[in-house]
Amino acid sequence: MKAVFRFFVVLSVVPLCVTGASINYQGRIAAGGSDYTGPAWIKARAISMLDENLWSNDGSAGTGEPSGSVQIEVNNGLFNIELGNPFIPGMTAMDWKVFRDSECSLRIWFSTNSTAYEQLSPDVSIRPATLEKLSSGRTVFVDDSDSADFNNLQDALNAVYNDEAESIIILPGWYPVTTPLTFSTQRFVSITGWGNRDEINIECTNGPAMYLQSARLENISVSGSPAISDNDPSVAASYWWQADHCVFRNNSAGAPEVPAMEFSGDGQAILFDCRIENQSANSGPALALGGNVDLAMSHCSLWSGSGGGSAALVKESPVMRAVNCDFFSDDNLSLLVTAPSSARFDVQDCRMHAGIYFSVTGGVNSAGGDFIQCGIGNENGADAAIHINGGCGWLNFDNCNIWTEDAHGIYQYSEWGYNTGVQMRNSSISVYDTGGDPGHGVFIGNSSLNDMGSASINLMNCRISAFSGRGIDSDYASVQLSDTHVQSFENYAINCSSSDLSVEHSDVRGNSGGILAAYSEIEISHSSIEGSEYGIYMGECMADVSSSMVVGGLNDGILAAGSGTNECELFITRSDITGSDSDEGALAGCAIRTDFTPETPMVIFHSTLDNFSEFPTLDLNGGMNIIEESIILTEAGPAVSITRPDLFIFEHTKFLNVGDGNTNALLLLCENDGEPIPPVVNGCVFRTLFGAAMAAVDMNPTCSATNSAIIMADCYLGNVTFNTNAIALVPVDDTTLPYGNIIGF
């Protein structure tokens, strides 16, 4: 078929994306003198002035007929196709560089049967002589050559200022500036780079490359010292600025404290898919954020090179929102927050490999924010992954992974007059040991001039693991655990000094012990506390253990002591306390061992005490002791040993020997100097389940006294005896006594 073909072409500027272009190709075809209707096939090439291939529909090289074709539909002789649109089957994308050749032309092959193709002649010029003719409406082009509207970006910005343009397109090239680029304060401008953003460079070598106004930057690279700044009187008080797919660099070697980007005003800024880099040694951070600016970042990378500052520096009262960003620093911090007055953070799905440091020195104590689904570690030295020094309003960590080596996972200290509040949910803290100083999973401290609650941490559904250090170390602070696992492989899981500790529905495990406490208030409920040595080792503390399990491996389940005016109070309800529960080493523990002053109370209610060593299950040295409706089991030693009998009341309690061959008495007494108060045993059971009969009550062989007394009533003796050579049953004739007999020996 011989075709008579008439056509025209229209060039569309950036119809698909910032790096692509297309040609809207239209025409008319007639066959046999009539307009053709039906399918047709086209092959196309863009040819340079040197007869070189710039583009083809199938991506092939050369200038001849392409192998692949694109099918079109012809209706009454008319057809229309967008060459360069990769969404059309058989079509490859067209690069914007097609239009940079001054003699670009279009070569077409046409067929109505997809077999025989006719090359149309002549080739049709599609390239205007200069980029000036590509300008459409209020868009201007900038090229570092002389083939566009401008070769100088400031001139293009002036066109916007003079209301001659609204948007700017920059082609690849180097655009040096000697003074910061200035923007119109009256009009919003969009600046878009065509091509690879690393090949579109705006650079100033003696200061900022540009001062911010209301504008949008896309697909360009900017470098200066800093590259971007809003710290200038020319910047509007409330600007709106956005950058997409851009690179910002500090290029000033050795200039101290100079960032790559500086925000210190009152505007709003948005960054998407941007790189912020400070590669200059002895320089400042990649990002400096201050004033009252509101900054939102998404899919960005912040990096400070060796010898530089932190990836991000925050001070004063800005708002920083970051989603799916990376904060890197070769030898500094990922995030440094210093002297914030009311800074706010909303950080999600971000990675901070060099740690976070909050310092309130000189600031106001109201900064804080949320870190959600973040990875936070410190690979740049022996500092904590999260370091809070001085104070903060509040910090929330949710679904975060925190790690460090030879340093604390969280270091939290409240200076005098400041508060530090941390809340962590569904997160993990891992502290590894590589031979340096041991780090704790959490260290929390407080100035002695503050209230105890000035330093607080609340851990919910978290996992804390430390190798050589402690899981949690608290000094004059408030610590709350809920549904949390705390473990130390070589130390105590929790150490608290002069602190409030609340453990609820949690699991606490340590090699040296579960909990080490002094001068503290401890509340444990529905939890498991276990140590390879001690379960709980406490001095001068008040402890309330309910519905929990406490286990000491080689030693005591609970060791409690008080002295002088530093009382120690112990309340245990509905709990299981076990001592010497280990298959390794020499067992030397008790379920509970106390050393109390006469006024110190201990109450055990509805609980079970067990011990596997030859030491007493319950070793009591003084104090005011009430044990009710509980079970005291022994495997190899006495059930209860009383060394200094101040006040002891046993109500409806079972003393049981469950170890075969155990011949120790179930209850050992010891005479106190002065006038002792006889222990009271009411409605109790003394029984051995294995072996020969054993003594129910006897003298403690560690005491020098040879006689004592006990008041018993309504008790059951099962396979246990009294040593009649040492014990005489004395009937009670004094009706003022509320109990039955006094057994003296």
What HEC string does 261-318 produce? Answer: EEECCCCEEEEECCEEEECCCCCCCCEEECCCCEEEEECCEEEECCCCCCCEEEEECC
Residue whose tokens read 């609650």: 453
205-219: burial string, b at 16+ Cβ within 10 Å, e else: eeebbbbbbbbbbbb
Q: Give domain status of residue 452, yes or no.
A: yes
Task: Report the pLDDT value the prediction gives residue 135, as an integer from 0 to 100.
Answer: 41
Q: Give domain status of residue 577, yes or no.
A: no
Q: Give domain status of residue 663, yes or no.
A: no
Tokens representing 185 are 């304060």
For residues 44 and 39, what is the distance between their CA atoms, to the nearest angstrom? 17
Shared-domain flag, residues 121 and 264: no
Q: Which residues pair with 388 in a beta bridge?
A: 358, 412
Q: Domain range for residue 228?
A: 132-324
pLDDT cut 70: percent of the chain above it? 87
Report, as an integer, the average pLDDT of 692-707. Answer: 77
| pLDDT tens, position by position, 423-454 | 999 999 999 987 777 899 999 999 999 898 88
Instruction: Please determine, for residue 143, whether its predicted confidence score (pLDDT) is greater than 80.
Output: yes
Task: Report the pLDDT value the prediction gives residue 720, as an integer from 0 to 100.
Answer: 78
Shared-domain flag, residues 160 and 290: yes
For the chain, give the number of residues: 745
The amino acid sitting at 427 is S
Shared-domain flag, residues 150 and 29: no
Up-side HSE of residue 321: CA atoms within 13 Å toward CB?
A: 10
Q: Give domain status of residue 507, yes or no.
A: no
Shared-domain flag, residues 121 and 140: no
Measure the CA dihedral 192/195/199/203, to 10°.
-10
Instruction: Please determine, for residue 585, whether its predicted confidence score (pLDDT) is greater than 90.
Output: no
Neighbours of 565 (CB within 10 A): 8
Among 446, 474, 502, the domain boundary falls at 502
Report, as an integer, the average pLDDT of 127-143. Answer: 60
For residues 462 and 481, what is the distance between their CA atoms, to the nearest angstrom? 9
- What CATH number corresponds to the domain at position 53? 2.60.40
Instruction: Please determine, for residue 455, whether its predicted confidence score (pLDDT) is greater than 70.
Output: yes
Categorize the per-residue pLDDT at 532 as very low, low, confident or very high, splitting at 50, 70 and 90: very high
Query: Cα separations (Å) of 288 from 127, 228, 231, 285, 368?
Result: 45, 10, 11, 6, 17
Give the residue with greater pLDDT, 23 vs 541.
Answer: 541
Shared-domain flag, residues 222 and 316: yes
For residues 743 and 697, what is the distance between their CA atoms, to the nearest angstrom? 9
Task: Report the pLDDT value the prediction gives residue 15, as an integer from 0 to 100.
Answer: 37
Task: Report the pLDDT value the prediction gives residue 131, as an integer from 0 to 100.
Answer: 46
Q: Give domain status of residue 703, yes or no.
A: no
| pLDDT tens, position by position, 595-613 | 998 888 999 999 999 999 9
605-618: burial string, b at 16+ Cβ within 10 Å, e else: bebbbbbbbbbbbb
Shared-domain flag, residues 354 and 412: yes
Q: Give domain status of residue 478, yes or no.
A: yes
Tokens representing 204 are 């100033």
Phi, then psi, of 198 in degrees rounded to 5: -75, -10
Among 324, 347, 372, the domain boundary falls at 324
Rg for the chain (alpha carbons), in Å?
A: 41
Among 502, 530, 559, the domain boundary falls at 502
Q: Give domain status of residue 607, yes or no.
A: no
Contact in structure between 285 and 309 (CB atoms under 8 Å) = yes
Categorize the per-residue pLDDT at 675 as very low, low, confident or very high, splitting at 50, 70 and 90: low
Beta strands 394-398 and 38-47, pairing class: unpaired
Shared-domain flag, residues 147 and 263: yes
Tokens representing 656 are 């049981």
Categorize the per-residue pLDDT at 284 as very low, low, confident or very high, splitting at 50, 70 and 90: confident
Shared-domain flag, residues 371 and 292: no
Query: What's the number of domains the chain is made of?
Result: 3
Categorize the per-residue pLDDT at 647 as very low, low, confident or very high, splitting at 50, 70 and 90: confident
Beta strands 70-74 and 38-47, pairing class: antiparallel
Contact in structure between 612 and 587 (CB atoms under 8 Å) = yes
Across 288-297, 657-666, 691-700, which has the greatest mean pLDDT? 288-297
Q: Give domain status of residue 699, yes or no.
A: no
For residues 179 and 578, what is the distance between their CA atoms, to the nearest angstrom? 76
